[in-house]
Amino acid sequence: MSGLRLVNLHKSFGQTLAVRGVSFEVNQREIVALLGPSGCGKSTILAIIAGLEAPDQGEVLWEAQSLASTPPHQRNFGLMFQDFALFPHMNVADNIAFGLRMNRRETAEIDQRVQATLDLVGLPGFEKRDVNTLSGGEQQRVALARSLAPSPRLLMLDEPLGSLDRNLRERLVVELGQILRRTKQTAIYVTHDQEEAFALADRIVVMNRGQVEQVDTPQAIYRRPATIFVARFLGLGNLVPGEIRNSEGSRFVSTPIGNYPVESTLEGKVTVLIRPEAVTLDGEGNCQLEGRMVSCSFRGSTCRAVLDVQGFELSFDLHTNAEIPTTGEIICLGFDSREALQIFGTTLDGDK
């Protein structure tokens, strides 16, 4: 079922182009993550959807109806802020009840709803607490309860875990996903952390410099990043320049670290990504890539090895069931080039 649709949004602040031609959709009951580095325009898009900012160009549609003339307080879109913006002059219950009161619900209904949402976020009995005395995690839950209480048709979460410490974040991201799914909440989740996006989202919109780079499911994005930017942003940094060549009917890519057969239809100068997890420490003479071991950080079942290959620093995940080579040793890696390599039709210096 179609929910939110953004059509070719543009927004600039003075000289800065914050959003440049952004279009994507959020289906009802779907959780979409808006992923990108800070300053890429994510928060501006939320503000445009909420109606707090007007786009210079483009449209926001809900169920195919334009929202251009709907003021923000009548859109029934919830927005949860990074540092929560809890009202400091109200207790927990009054904060949560605020949206319901604005909708002129009955007192009994409000009380019941406040209790229900507090139960949902795991804070039963917190009604009378002063919001200023809550811990970071508790504030986050109250903020979530406050945005869920009026049952918004779309909930937007702007880096909701950004201000919390790592441990709490890892625990809350799971809980947050469970709560959103249990309430069948349509949601847009803004973050710069790909792990959060992977853990929560049905689909991910990756953004860079005000533009959409890729829209897809978490698996698809990780498996097949559409651009060099997306690859880098997901931590896939093994990128080397290359050129597609034909030789005796077969196509291969020639790079400073070696020549590999490819099935790409691209021509000319390209960039090659070598996936770090798709290699094996080779003992059978199938040597695809040779390099000197610079360092290896142990991570349990794997170790992240940094290799110097013809002057390129490349990282690989090596399984620790085999013997780990020592630093300075020349080692040999094997891979299936169809699985391990991905070719981008752009060059590295363009960074696009």
Partner 1 sequence: MKNSSFNRRLLLLWIPPLTFLALFYFFPLGSILGISFARSESGLTGPFMEALASPTLRNVLWFTLWQAALSTLLTLLVGLPGAYLLARYEFRGKSLLLALTSIPFVMPTLVVAAAFNALLGPRGWVNLALMDWFNLSQPPVQFINTFTAILVAHIFYNLTIVLRMVGDFWSHIDPRMGQAAITLGASPVKSLRYITLPLLTPAITAAAVLIFIFDFTSFGVILVLGGPRFATLEVEIYYQTISLFNLPLASALAVIQLTCTLALTVFYTRISERLARPLNLRPRQFTQHRLISWRSRLLAGAVIVPMVILQTIPLVALAARSFTRLDPERGQASPVSPGLTLAYYRELSINRRESLFYVPPTQAIATSLGYAGATVVLALALGLPVAWALSRGNGAALNRIFDPILMLPLGTSAVTLGLGFIVALNRPPLNLRSSLLLIPLAHTLVALPFVVRSLTPAIRSIRPRLRHAAATLNATPGQVIRYIDLPLVARAVLVAATFAFTISLGEFGATALIARPEYPTIPIMIYRFISQPGAMNYGQALALSTILMVITAGGMLAIERFRIAEIGEF
Q: Please report, as ranges, the residues that interact with partner 1 according to CB under 8 A.
A: 13-14, 47, 50, 52, 71-79, 81, 83, 85, 87-89, 98-99, 102-103, 132, 146-147, 150, 152
Nearer to partner 1, 190 or 204 (CB): 190
Whether residue 340 contacts residue 279, with contact meaning beta carbons closer than 8 Å, is answered with yes
Nearer to partner 1, 51 or 225 (CB): 51
| Angle at alpha carbon of residue 266, lines to 263 and 269, rounded to 5° | 120
- What's the min distance (Å) between Cβ of 215 and partner 1? 25
SS3 content of the chain, % helix, strand, coil (to 5): 25, 35, 35
Nearer to partner 1, 12 or 280 (CB): 12
Nearer to partner 1, 55 or 218 (CB): 55
- What's the min distance (Å) between Cβ of 59 and partner 1? 19
Nearer to partner 1, 89 or 171 (CB): 89
What would the two tokens of residue 268 be? 């000319």
- What's the min distance (Å) between Cβ of 173 and partner 1? 22
Q: Which alpha helices (H) appear in 224-281, and where do they start and end?
A: 228-233
- What's the min distance (Å) between Cβ of 32 and partner 1? 18
The rounded distance, in Å, linking the Cα atoms of 30 and 7 is 18
Whether residue 317 contacts residue 276, with contact meaning beta carbons closer than 8 Å, is answered with yes
Report the DSSP beta bridge partners of residue 141: none
The rounded distance, in Å, linking the Cα atoms of 160 and 333 is 41
- What's the min distance (Å) between Cβ of 28 and partner 1? 19
Whether residue 80 contacts residue 155, with contact meaning beta carbons closer than 8 Å, is answered with yes
Whether residue 62 contacts residue 4, with contact meaning beta carbons closer than 8 Å, is answered with yes
- What's the min distance (Å) between Cβ of 321 and partner 1? 49
The rounded distance, in Å, linking the Cα atoms of 243 and 154 is 46
What would the two tokens of residue 212 be? 């959409």
The rounded distance, in Å, linking the Cα atoms of 50 and 255 is 48
Whether residue 301 contacts residue 319, with contact meaning beta carbons closer than 8 Å, is answered with yes
Whether residue 138 contacts residue 127, with contact meaning beta carbons closer than 8 Å, is answered with no
Nearer to partner 1, 163 or 302 (CB): 163
Which DSSP helix (H) or strand (E) runs through 148? Answer: helix 136-148
- What's the min distance (Å) between Cβ of 101 and partner 1? 8
Nearer to partner 1, 46 or 236 (CB): 46
- What's the min distance (Å) between Cβ of 81 and partner 1? 5
Nearer to partner 1, 80 or 212 (CB): 80
The rounded distance, in Å, linking the Cα atoms of 290 and 196 is 35
Nearer to partner 1, 94 or 216 (CB): 94
- What's the min distance (Å) between Cβ of 166 and partner 1? 22
Question: What's the longest Cα–Cα distance across the chain?
Answer: 80
